[in-house]
Amino acid sequence: MDKFQTFTGIVAPLDRANIDTDAIIPKQFLKSIHRTGFGPYLFDEWRYLDHGEPGQDCSDRPLNQDFVLNQERYRNASILLTRENFGCGSSREHAPWALLDFGIKTIIAESFADIFYNNCFKNGILPIALPSEKVESLIEKTKLNIGFSLKVELDKQILIDSNETVIPFDIESFRKDALLNGLDEIGLTLSRVEEIKSFEIDHLKKYPWIFKS
C-alpha cells in the first residue's frame, strides 16, 4: 500500500445519509476477480441513466447530469463529503476499490459503517468523521465556491481550506500510522509467527474439537 501523502483536493458534496455499498458499487460489478477497474462504475445507478454491465465502455453512456460527480466542477474531486452512516450494508471491499480507482483519497462524513471504515484503511483511503455542524458548513462552502478544496494533512490531523481555516479531526493512532507508513498489515502479523504458533498449540489443547473438522 502506498504511503498516505499530504494533498489538496476538490471536495464533492454527496448530501445524503445512509449511503450503502450497493449504491457505491452495484452487485453486477462484483463478479470481477480483480482489484482494479471499478472506477468507471462507481455509483453506477446514480451516475448513468442506463443499466451498466461489467466490462462495458462507459465513455458513451448517458450521464445523469444531476448527479454530483457528473457536474463539471466536481469531476476531478478527490475528497467526498457526505452525511451519516456512509458505507453501510455489504462488506464488499469493491466499494473502497471503486472510490480509489475514481480518484477519491479522503471521505469526510458525519459517521461511517464499521466494515467500510475498516476497509478504507486497507486501501490507503482516509475516512474522516466530523460533527454534523462541521459537515453542514463544509457542504455550504462547496456549493457556494466553485473549486472549493481542502488540504488534508494527516500527520497533523487537520484539514485546511484556501482561507487558511483549520479543521482538526480525530483518528486512532494505529490507523494513522498504518496510512502514513503504508503498512503491510499481513507482514506485521507474520512477524509474530512464533507467538501465533504457541497460542495455537495452547488453543488446541483447550478446545481440541475446533481442529477436528
Binding flag, residue 188, another protein (CB under 8 A): yes
Q: How many of the chain's residues bind another protein (CB under 8 A)?
A: 60
Tell how far CA 56 is from the center of its chain.
24
> Exactly one of 7, 39, 45, 70 binds another protein (CB under 8 A); which one?
45
Part in contact with another protein (CB under 8 A); list of ranges 3-11, 62-70, 87-95, 98-106:
87-95
CB of residue 127 to another protein, shortest distance in Å: 13
Phi-psi region of 39 (alpha: psi -120 to 50; beta: other; left: phi over 0): alpha
Binding flag, residue 49, another protein (CB under 8 A): no
Binding flag, residue 123, another protein (CB under 8 A): yes
The nearer residue to another protein, 135 or 150, going by C-beta atoms, is 135
Position of cell 462504475? 41
> Exactly one of 66, 164, 173, 201 binds another protein (CB under 8 A); which one?
173
- Amino acid in position 70: N
Which pairs count as long-range contacts for 171-175, CB under 8 Å and 24+ apart, including other chains? Answer: 171/126, 171/128, 175/121
Q: Which of 137, 140, 95 is nearest to 117 (CA)?
A: 95
- In what side-by-side order are the strands of the sheet with 158-160? 126-129, 106-109, 79-82, 7-14, 149-153, 158-160, 166-168
The nearer residue to another protein, 111 or 149, going by C-beta atoms, is 111
C-beta separation of 68 from 82 below 8 A:
no
Binding flag, residue 18, another protein (CB under 8 A): yes
The nearer residue to another protein, 163 or 213, going by C-beta atoms, is 213
Binding flag, residue 56, another protein (CB under 8 A): no
Secondary structure of residue 193 in the 3-state scheme? helix
* Interface residue list for another protein (CB under 8 A): 16-18, 20, 22-23, 26-28, 30-35, 45, 51, 54-55, 84-85, 88-93, 96, 111-115, 118-119, 122-123, 172-174, 177, 185-186, 188-190, 192, 195-196, 199-200, 203, 206-213
